[in-house]
Amino acid sequence: MNVASPTCRFDFSIDVPDWLKAALDDSDPHGLLSNLSPNEVDLVRRAFQFGYDLHEGQCRASGEPYIAHPVAVAGLLRELGGNGATIAAGFLHDVVEDTDITSEELEIHFGEEVRRLVEGVTKLSKFNFSSKTERQAENFRRMFLAMAQDIRVIVVKLADRLHNMRTLTHLAPAKQKRIAQETLDIFAPLANRLGIGRFKWELEDLSFKYLDGEAYAQIRDLVADKRGDRESRIHAVASTLSERLQAVGISGFEVSGRPKHLYGIYTKMQRQQKDFTEIYDIAAVRVIVNSNDECYRALAIVHDAFNPIPGRFKDYIGLPKPNRYQSLHTGVIGKGGRPIEVQIRTADMHHVAEYGIAAHWKYKESGSSQSQWTAEDEKFTWLRQLLDWQHDLKDAQEYLDSIKDNLFEDDVYVFTPEGDVVALKQGATPVDFAYRIHTEVGNHCAGAKVDGRIVPLDSHLHNGSIVEIITQKNSHPSLDWLNFVVTPSARNRIRQWYKRSHRDENVARGREMLEKELGKSGFEALLKSEPMKMVAERCNYHSVDDLLAAVGYGEVTLNQVVNRLQDTVKVQQTPPEVPSFEETTRSLMSKAIPQQSPSKGSKSPIAGIEGMVYHIAGCCKPVPGEPIIGVVTRGDRGISIHNQHCNNVSSVPGERLVPVSWNSQEEAGRVPTYPVDISIEVLDRVGVLNDILSRLKDNNINVHSAQVRTTEGKPAVIDLGIGIRDLGQLDRTFAQIRQMSDVLNMRRLQEGRVS
């Protein structure tokens, strides 16, 4: 049954593209939906109607109906050749986030394939995170995981971002800059990684427009001013090449010129430190022929007709880029002595250059299985690395930095001794190469040969070099390697090795922390008990020692272990020889001095000493959330407030002890901070202190003092004096800093008690 025409069924105040009208009318005389089956056209129509009804009454910042955005996104996906499910996901990509519809309901209406695509691009707006950085990192973690299951997820996301960038002018300037920076850092490189050149160039230019409007306008005007001269030069080169190609019998070719996009010109000016007038190759001539053989024949003709510029030839046909881009690039001296770039490729190569991963969609069957869309192909090695780092990098900022590093395209191509090609970042070293081959090759790297000659490990690799790694069983990573490796995978593997090498220290530290929390009585038997093994398994660790190491390093907090242990003991009968949870903690609790209930209406942070002079003891420096006790001083300093577990309290006579407790911050009437000294052992690198301070800033923690101690070849030690509101804030901060890859150890310094 035909659906009523848009003018009857829908009240549009937006332009309806012809392809959508054809889908709604169930007629396609112009073949606008010829790549879709009847069932797919029906799916597209139903998805639009569903999205239209759900978004009805919603408006964008521009004031236009919200449905204009899903229509535009679906249109971009159609241009890329997406199947029915992909285009339907374009219409529906915001319904889970912006309406009351759930993923489960979406699957009932449109199937599992559409639900998976929509779910992959949905933001985590219903979750709570401690910072914008953590929210952004978690969004990307989820997005990359969804990409691994179905690569179309990121294509839908890119179409969504491109239309948002096209309409960014309606947002506040601060939001424009934030979104533009994220686009330039993440989404434009992602489009490049997937080979979707037409998305990449527009995303970069639009980001450039909002990040540096003055430079954007200046380059745009300069390019426009030089248009006549540029077109004249391109026409002269194109005419010459056309005549030469015809003369040697190459037919069916196409020669055209194109200006380079504005952001590309800008980055070249910045990289080469040149003015616009010094950048001559702001345009390129593209030659499209029929076969690989004709590409190389055309190259010979170009070099015969014009003088080639040394060092400007690149063969991306023989060695394709990681995103599968193929073309021959060469620079020549054109008419009037001006340099010009010439690109030579086949029509299929050009299609891949424009559409990237989407260029292969037409070879997929409609309703294909999920496995056909996964990222198992070798060209997605970078994506698998990002997924691996989701487990290795717990810190949000480090994960974002790794994403940004890894998304920028590889520039150096080297060979293994067996002749396999390995793509690396510009400036890569033999150590980067070793870790790209395998983690253990990197961990046991003792030397390297490049083209048969032994070279220093910090040597930069160059295109075409044959690299051989010399390994030894007793060799291990050096801290110095962090000063010259450039690939995120190498940096992360080196850090991980150093963390694992400190395992024994972490196990001992975790044991000590847990023993202080639970008490010594029955502690050893508890560690060997079945409940403790179950706790380790619930925390995803293979053994109790692994759990203790995680506690010592900070991946798991004491509260998590204690709470899960308590839950396990409650539901399981404890063997007679193993004390119960309550029994193991009885010795600790028996030492606790009864605390007085807070006095309502008190404005003092300490309850039990109202009207008396007091001070926080400098030996243990307790903070709210820790059990405290007052000690009457012999001088005129009044009551000294100690942690109940402070060693200095044990020798104080009972008559000098005063039961006290913390008032709630609301009762205290203000939120004071308390001094805490911490010591952090880190891998010594430039910027590590700044990264730690940024975490403290994110948690609104003031730093009163800082001291850094370094010893050549050994980890650095950073001692900080900070102001803390309560124990919860301290625990959260410790957890965030301990998750940093460069942090080996972190502890709180207390003279009366070290934790």
Q: What is the distance between the alpha carbons of residues 690 and 695, in angstroms, rounded to a whole number? A: 9
> Of 311, 315, 310, 340, which Cα lies nearest the Cα of 327?
315
98 is an active site residue: yes
E strand spans, 347-395: none
Residue corresponding to tokens 């119960």: 580
Two tokens, residue 255: 């020669």
Contact 685, 484 (CB under 8 A): no
Q: How far apart are CA 301 and CA 595, in angstroms?
A: 92
State the Cα torsion 45-50-53-54 to the nearest 10°. -150
Rounded to an integer, what distance in angstroms lies between the CA atom of residue 437 and that of residue 422? 8
User: What's the number of CA atoms in the CB half-sphere (13 Å) around residue 538?
Assistant: 15
CB 436 within 8 A of CB 487: yes
Is residue 498 within 8 A of residue 745, CB to CB? The reply is: no
Tell me the angle at which helices 396-407 and 688-698 cross, rounded to the nearest 10 degrees: 130
Quote the CA–CA distance of 23 and 39 in Å, as a whole number: 11
333, β-bridge pairs: 307, 339
Q: Is the dihedral of CA 191, 152, 137, 409 positive or negative?
A: negative
**8 Å CB contact between 62 and 168:** no
Contact yes or no for 476/500 (Cβ under 8 A): no
CA dist 403 and 397 (Å) reads 10
List, in sequence order, every residue forming a beta bridge with 328; answer none if it has no partner.
315, 344
Residue 545 among the catalytic residues: no
State the catalytic residue, choosing from 28, 97, 315, 468: 97
Strand ranges, E, within 572-613: 606-607
Place of tokens 């975790």: 510
Residues with Cβ within 8 Å of 251's Cβ and at least 6 positions away in sequence, in order, are none
CA 234/CA 334 separation, integer angstroms: 9
Which residues touch 281 (CB under 8 Å, ≥6 apart)?
260, 331, 339, 340, 341
Our measurement of the distance from residue 305's CA atom to the centroid of its chain's CA atoms, rounded to an integer in Å, reads: 47
Which of 25, 98, 185, 480 is catalytic? The answer is 98
Catalytic residues, which ones?
A: 97-98
